[in-house]
Each structure stands twice: as structure tokens, then as C-alpha cells.
A and B are shown apart, each in its own frame.
Chain A
Amino acid sequence: MLRFLVRRFIGAAITLLIISAITFMLFYAVPRDPARIACGKVCTPETLEVIRHNMGISDPLPVQYWHWLEAIFVGRDYSGFGHCDAPCLGYSFVNREPVLATVWDRFPTTASLAIGSSVVFLIFGIGTGMLAAVKQGKALDKIASSGSLIASSMQIYFVGPVALYFLVYQTHLLDQPSYTPFSENPGAWFNGLLVPWLVLALIWTANYTRMTRSQLVESLTEDYVRTARAKGLSRRNVFFRFAWRGAMGPIVTIFGLDMGVLLGGAMITEKTFSLQGLGMLSVKSVFSNDLPMLLGVMVITAAFVVFSNIIVDACYALIDPRIRLA
């Protein structure tokens, strides 16, 4: 187990290093000078040079990257801002806010959206998939299968406004989407996120329905499932303890990856419901040439994907005793 963790963490660090380096290089491929933009209309070459220096972009690219890396571990002194403690991801080019604080500020919105909707799509997706697998070939299976095909071909920017129109503006059944911190008012947190959860979950549910169904249909034909029936165990017991156990592994794997992606921000969902999460933050930083902010969001999002992968692999070993971690 320890060897597994050490190995995977080293791998994760390398992955993150490469991702940040690529982001760094891509940023400079864009022919726009952030210092020139920050300088404004009346801009002398001297002021431009000062701004460049303050932004830390007057050095050659590798040196800049090194400074950025260094800051994460030992902090960094900015002329004009003062000292930024480690772990330091720098300051925004646009509004001079510290990157890390901004990301942490946005993170609860994204996390609430991701966790809430995944609870919904896991319950409904796996539930429907199980029913479809049990009622294989019957009407219920056909309805679930074709329904999930339709749902999975929907887009959030279509379903979102439709749901808003009918559930919120026309009937006032649900609240206007908004984010209230859970610690402030759990009720408002829940009501404000319910519509985005349902809409985001609708599209993801379908994937989990289809995946659960196909995994179960396969594992229900396994010899060990027949043996369990031959031992006199009830259908229910056999279904949950044997067939479902066999179907679970691949579903956990996909869920781990999906969760990593969702925690990186669901841009379209956030845009549709005007929520200020990581997705919106990264889009905004791209358009405003805000390198430190973009790098910060990219690295933190990538870290979610990489670490959820490690957790998934560890979970897989718990589900299937044939897999040994090394």
C-alpha cells in the first residue's frame, strides 16, 4: 500500500509539473502582452517596463516558470505587493487578488455543484440501470434504455434554460439558482442549487444507467452468480452481494474520473445558472490573459483529476481482492 501511494504521488507530481509547463508555454504563444493591457492608453516605455517587472514577466520564460514553481514551495516577494507566503500561486494580472485565495473562494460553489449532482445521478443512474438489468428485455428495460439515450444526447445549455423557464419562472416550483454557503444557511444552499443539480444530473444519469445496465447484464451471467443461486441464496441476496459486486468496479472507475472533471468546474452549467465556480473563473482568466489565475485553476483542477484517480485505484483494490496495489 505504501509503495503504491509513494509511486502514485510521484507520478501525480510529474503530471502536474508537465501540465503547468505546457500552460505556461501556451500562454506565451498568444500574441497579447498583459503588461501592455494593464498599462492603459497613456503608456510610456518606462511605465511599461515597471509594470512588466512588477508582473514578473520581464525575465526569460524558463526563469519565470522557475519563479512560479519556487513560489509554491518557499513563497515570493513581489515589488509593489509585498511578500506572498508559500504555497503561493501569485497574484491576478487583472485585479491583483491573490490566486490561491480566489480559487478557494470559488471552490465551494464548484464542489457543491459536483457533489450534489453526483449524489442525484448516482442514485437515479444506478437505480434505473439495476431495474433495467433485472427486467432485461421487458418494457421497463426498453423505456429506461431509450430514455437514457435521449437524455444523454441533451445539452445543458438547452435543458438548463428549459428547466429554468418551466420550473422557476413559470411555475415557481423551485428557487432561482444561486449560491449560498452551506455554513451560512443550509436550506438556502440546497434550494439555490437544486435546479443546477437536477439539470446537470439529468445528462450524467443516462451514462450511469447505461453503464450499470451493461455491467450487470454481463455479471448476471457469470458462473459464480449461478453457483450462488445453486447454494440456495435468494435472488435479492445474489443480485446485491454477487452480481452487483462484480459490476461495481468499472462504475467506480468511471465515477472517479467524472468526479475529477466535475470538481474542475462545470463551465457550461455555471454559465447557464450564473454561478461563480472554478469553471467560470478559468474561462474568464483565459479571455483576460490572466496567466497566474489560469495557471492556478489549471493546476488545482488537474490535481483533482490525478488524485481522484489514485483514490479510485485504491477503492478498486477494496472491491476486488484479486487486485494488489503496488
Chain B
Amino acid sequence: MTSTDQQPFLSIKDLKVHFSTEDGTVKAVDGLSFDLMRGKTLGIVGESGSGKSVTNLTILGLHNPDSTTVEGSIELDGEELNGASDKTLEKLRGNKMSMIFQDALASLSPYHTIGTQIGEVYRKHTGASKKVARARAIEMLTRVGIPQPDVRVDDYPHQFSGGMRQRAMIAMALVCDPELLIADEPTTALDVTVQAQIMDLLKDLQKEFGTAIIFITHDLGVIADIADDVLVMYGGRCVERGPKEEVLRTPQHPYTWGLLGSMPSLDGPVDVPLNPIPGSPPSLLNPPSGCRFHPRCAFVEKVEGGRCSTERPLLEIVDGRGKACHLTDDQRREFFADLAASKAH
């Protein structure tokens, strides 16, 4: 390994994304930092409105510049993207970094054939002829497992099934062999079998090309399958992050406990009721003071001096593992053991 391989491929530092709306400023992302190495997968988990999608649209520069202010640094392979020109970003998008969107039917143009839509990315970034781009589109469709790719290449999205559309979307995102792939809930709308196939496909492609992947989801099962590292977002901030095994086995933040507790377990008894997190995600227009999770947290009383509602817990990261919570390590161990015990019964 050369020394450049030790550098993070994508480095986000203290990212703040604020929208101005008629009602005030929405702090969609409020001080988020993370690094991503080549060939690794970062899973970002959180409820709707936690800022995960906004973060990734901002990386690609797809936010509305008129109503959005972006602060902080987004460095891709040493190049600062925050404040970069349209031209610079257009050269990177679809090429060095690309994105798979959630709803493939809405995200593919109904007016152009699948082949045109895949081919035009290739033509834009390589200057290839229509003929070459078409051949490339067929090659990509083959790679993502579309049957009869030389025929289906001339189909329109509405002639594809849901799973095939998602594959076409992936083919489109990968046509220029991107080094960073952002997948925004790419499997949410699909049934489990197709979901598994698509996850395998992404893993194979990552192995082949060493792509760095950001995988956004609210499904911890998917995270367990694909991620190397996990970042849990709540109210526009990171509340916990670390290697997948550690976050899933020994979660340290009450919000992560809640997420895990609200998941059905396959090997546990069937009649155990699910434990949803009480309350609803915070308003980002008037976010709660202190720790943004405190109005929904069961352990607020355990922290002395009411610090949860007054003081923002800092995210301390040691060896890539960290959490933003005022509970002491002893308290955390005790409460988590209690929770695990109550779930087992």
C-alpha cells in the first residue's frame, strides 16, 4: 500500500446544510463529519428527516443553491467540493462520483430509452460516439443481469419491472466506473429476493472496482449485510458511529438501542411485541436544545444536572468508534444489559 491509500477518499468536516424557508431556517445537517476510504462501505442509518439524504445530495452539489447554505468541507480525493463551480461538479458527477436514487421509476426519465439514459452519461464523460455508448450500455445491462440486454436497451423505463429498473439505475450510476457511489435506499421499494440480488451485485462491483460506497438506509438488516462502518444520524447530527459489528452488537447510544429494539428478530419468539421509539423525529426548524434526542430518550433522568436538555453532547471518536451522549460508560453498560435481558425474555 502506498501512503496515498491511507488518506480518506472522501472526507466530510463539520458539514452544515441549512435551508431558508418561509417559516425560518431548517438545519437539515448540523455539524457532520466522517471519512470514507477507498473500497469501503459506510452505512448511514436514521429515520426520515434525519438529514441522511440531504447530506448526500450536498456531496454531489445537487442542493438548490438559492435557498441552501452549505458550510464546512467536502473533500473528494483531495479536492474541495463545497463551493466548487458547476463545471467542476458536472465533470465529477456520474463520472468519479455517482448516485443511485431510491425510486427508480420516478428517477428515470419516462421520455428516453434505458439505453439512451445509460449511454448519455458515458458520452458526456468520455466523448464516445452514440454507437460506442450504446454498446457500453448493453455491456452495463449485461453486467447488472438484465436478460436480453441487446433488446431491452431500447425499452423505456415503464416497460421494465421494478427490480429491473433499479438494476438499470445501478448500471447508469456505474457506467463510468465511479470511485464513489452513493446509494440512497436503493432497495427499499423492492421485495426481499430482488433486494438480496442487488446487494450482491453492489458487493461484486465494489470488489471488482474498489469503489467507496455510502449506503443510506433505515433498515439495519441491510446495514448488517453490506456495511463496513455505520453512522447513525439523528436530527441532522451523528449520534453514533463505528465498525458495523460493534455498533450492531454493542450499541452505545440510546437512539441506536431504540432502532435495534424496534426491529423484529427472526430467531426470537414470534409473540414478543416490537418496541418502537416513542415520539416522532424532531422538527429541524426548531430543534430541541442540548441533545436532540432528549425529548424521546428514556434515560434523560439518569444524567445529572439536566445536561441532556442544555448541553450538546460532543461526538468523541476513538479508533473510529464514538457516540454523542452524556451517559457515563458504566451507566451505558448497565442500561444496555438490562435492555438486552428484557428483550430475551
Contacts and interface: CB of A to CB of B under 8 A. Distances in A.
B122 to A, nearest CB: 10
A233 B66 CA distance: 20
A52 B156 CA distance: 64
A229 B106 contact: no
Given A321-B156, A322-B156, A322-B158, A230 B99 contact: yes
B93 A231 contact: yes
A323 to B, nearest CB: 10
Main secondary structure of the interface of A (DSSP, over half): helix
Contact of A231 (B66, B111, B172): B172
Given A223-B101, A230-B94, A234-B90, A242 B121 contact: no
Given A231-B93, A231-B121, A321-B156, A226 B62 contact: yes
Given A322-B156, A322-B158, A230 B98 contact: yes
A226 B107 contact: yes
B203 interface: no
B281 to A, nearest CB: 22
B124 interface: yes
Contacts of B86: 234-235
Contacts of B111: 242, 245-246, 319-321
Interface string B73-88: 0000000000000100
A245 B94 CA distance: 22
Interface residues of A, number: 22
A9 interface: no
Contacts of B101: 223, 226-227, 230
A207 B106 CA distance: 29
Contacts of A245: 109, 111
Given A223-B107, A224-B107, A322-B158, A231 B62 contact: no
On chain B, which size bracket covers the interface? 20 to 34
A130 B66 CA distance: 18
A40 interface: no
B120 interface: yes
B260 interface: no
Interface in A198-236: 222-224, 226-235
A67 B112 CA distance: 53
B53 to A, nearest CB: 11
Interface of B: 60, 62, 66, 86, 89-95, 98-99, 101, 103, 106-112, 120-121, 124-125, 156, 158, 172
7 contacts: A223-B107, A227-B107, A228-B109, A231-B124, A246-B111, A320-B110, A322-B110
Given A229-B62, A230-B62, A232-B94, 14 more contacts: A226-B62, A227-B107, A227-B108, A231-B98, A231-B120, A232-B124, A233-B94, A233-B120, A242-B109, A242-B111, A246-B110, A321-B111, A321-B158, A322-B156
